[in-house]
Structure 1
Amino acid sequence: MISRRRLLQSGLSLAALPLWARAASDSALKTATGPDWAPWTGPTPPLVLPDLSGRELKLSAWRGNVVIVSFWATWCDPCRDEIPIMSTMAKRHREEGLRLVAVNVGESQAKISAFLKKWPVAGTVLHDRNSAVSKKWEAVGLPANYLVDRGGTIRYWHLGELDWKSNAVGGVVTRMLRS
């Protein structure tokens, strides 16, 4: 389970938290990771999940690329706002090695497919049916975004909505691509 300190650093809205986490106030949560990326200080948890066709993929499949790993759900309004912007960024920087891995948390295949018809993802969609991987990645709310370097190590993370059009957010991605 996530520590209270890290929970208070998440920047989530109270409604996005699991019941056990709702004891923290909205204002405390919003001060957590701040408005943009925070450094990730722990080890990179495993990520092994099926894609929508049932084929199991591992994070190592994208080694050599900078990867945005985004945990999302169809009911998440900020997720719907972020996915098109992240997809545009992934397309624009594809030749430089940027990849988007969108991990749906706990929803049915039918819901995911209906969502993707309206909001296609320019990347790979994985299915975390029982939320086991999102828990290992400390994604206590949605969206939860992580930047993984070319070697497969998480460097940055953010819980809650990011302003993907800002220089603070996009600049970190660009610097990782060019380093």
Structure 2
Amino acid sequence: MISRRRLLQTGLSVAALPYLPKLARAADDAALKAATGPDWAPWTLPTPALVLPDLSGREQKLSAWRGNVVIVSFWATWCEPCRDAIPLMSTMAKRHREEGLRLVAVNVGEALGKVSTFLAKSPVAGTVMHDRNSAASKKWDAIALPANYLVDRGGSIRYWHLGELDWKSEQVTAVVTRMLRR
């Protein structure tokens, strides 16, 4: 039987990224299994900084959204589960905006033109950041795409998920709703 770690090294229906060894040192197979399961997994590491340009080149910082619950999603246009999730995350962000939910979609490693073309057809109800050289995704241990994180109102990651996530399921939405009520 192949371990989750080995499965991620070879590809989990998404491309495994080359910096798996950092996460492999920090997480055992149980943590990876939880992060790739059907629901959110607890995040136990410190929250890395997130400072990147938006699509117009202005620097954006995750710390600017303190006081809100933030979905941070690392994605790419070539990633089918990412393309499917963006409209669902956007709907959730719009539905809970008044309660303080924000969406930060971090494109990983693609040219601005490609990202802009995609977003013209599938707009994001939030801020799109551009991680052109994948440096931020490496710091966030986004070893596969999509990689989604739930950041609490104080700016700390509480939950994460690697791979496809059912944004309509009660399990997924309940965690987001619970964080909004804190």
TM range (shorter): 0.7 to 0.9
Output one character per residue of 1:125-161: Cα deviation in whole Å (capped at 9) or x when no partner. Answer: 0000100000000001100000000000000000001
Q: Distance in 2 between matches of 1:92 and 1:109?
A: 28
Partner SS, residue 90 of structure 1: helix
Question: After the TM superposition, which parts of structure 1 deviate over 6 Å for at least 4 consecutive aligned residues?
Answer: none
CA deviation string 1:98-129 (max 9, x = no partner): 00000000000000000001111000000001
Q: Which amino acid counterpart does residue 108 of structure 2 have in structure 1?
A: V
Q: Secondary structure at the match of 1:16?
A: coil
Q: Give the corresponding residue for 1:147.
A: 150
1:6-40 CA-to-partner distances (Å, cap 9, x unmatched) read 94697x6154213676xxxxxx9984421110000
Between the aligned partners of 1:155 and 1:20, the Cα distance in structure 2 is 22
Structure 1's unaligned 5+ residue stretches are: 22-27
Which residue of structure 1 aligns with residue 165 of structure 2?
Answer: 162
Percent identical: 75
Q: In structure 2, what is the Cα distance between the partners aligned to 1:15 and 1:165? A: 21
TM-score (norm 1): 0.87
For the 8 Å contact 2:72–2:104, the answer to whether it is kept is: yes
Unmatched 5+ stretches in structure 2: 21-29
* Structure 1 residue 175, shift from structure 2 partner: 0.3
**Paired residue secondary structure (2:120):** helix
TM-score scaled by structure 2?
Answer: 0.86
Which of 77, 81, 100 does residue 97 from structure 1 map onto? Answer: 100
Q: Tell whether the 8 Å contact from 2:19 to 2:143 is kept in structure 1 after alignment.
A: no
* 1:54–1:175 Cα change, 3 Å: same
The alignment covers a number of residue pairs equal to 169
- 1:16 maps onto 2:15 in alignment: yes
- Root-mean-square deviation over aligned CA pairs: 2.4
Distance 1:146 1:19, change over 3 A: closer
CA distance in 2, matches of 1:38, 1:159: 9
Q: Deviations over 1:64-101 (max 9, x none)?
A: 00000000000000001100000000000000000000
* 2:78 partner letter: W
Q: From 117, 122, 127, give the equivalent of 2:125.
A: 122
